Structure formats: structure tokens, C-alpha cells
Amino acid sequence: MKDNKQFVTIATVDQLPQAELMRCLLEDAGISCYIKDAYMGSFISTAVGGIKVEVEREDVENAKKVLASTDTTHSTEEEITQHD
């Protein structure tokens, strides 16, 4: 079954532990989160632009607020991707 949800990359990081911390913070706030390009190895993850933390389009603003209220370092993007 295809899932037509649109995901938006809200943060790009270099290290998996940082992405996992963000995922935990978002999920604790009730926001579903997806980590993309996490298990490719650090060299390949860097080559594809880093490890991406993604949320559903309707959760973007709340997710940014959650991450902004913490000490996590992240860069935000408005890149829309679709996952099957």
C-alpha cells in the first residue's frame, strides 16, 4: 500500500546521534519523524548531503518550534520529498 504523505526535511546533520536526539524530541512532542540517509555510512551520508530529519508537511512549524527550543544544532530546509 502506498503512503502519499509528503515529508519535509527540517534538519540536516552530520552524525546519527544528533538526528536520533531530534527524533526523540519530536516524537516526545507528538510529531512523527523520519530519518533519511542515516545508515549509509558517514562517507556516503556526507556525499548525499547529510542525514536528514523529516516530518509530515503539516507538522513543519511545530517541529521547528520544538527543535528551536532545544540546544540541538541544525540547519533547516524546505525540501519536499515523497516516500512510498
**pLDDT tens, position by position, 53-73:** 999 999 999 999 999 988 655
Instruction: Render pLDDT for 8-50 as a digit per residue (tens, 0 to 9).
Output: 999 998 888 999 999 999 999 999 999 988 776 555 555 567 8
What are phi and psi for residue 66, nearest 5 degrees? -60, -50
Q: What is the DSSP string of 55-75?
A: EEGGGHHHHHHHHHTSS---B
Give the global pTM.
Answer: 0.71
Q: Measured between alpha carbons, how far is residue 40 from residues 15, 61, 70, 84 in Å?
A: 12, 28, 27, 19
Which class is domain 6-82? alpha beta
Domain limits of the chain? 6-82
C-alpha cell at 16: 546519527
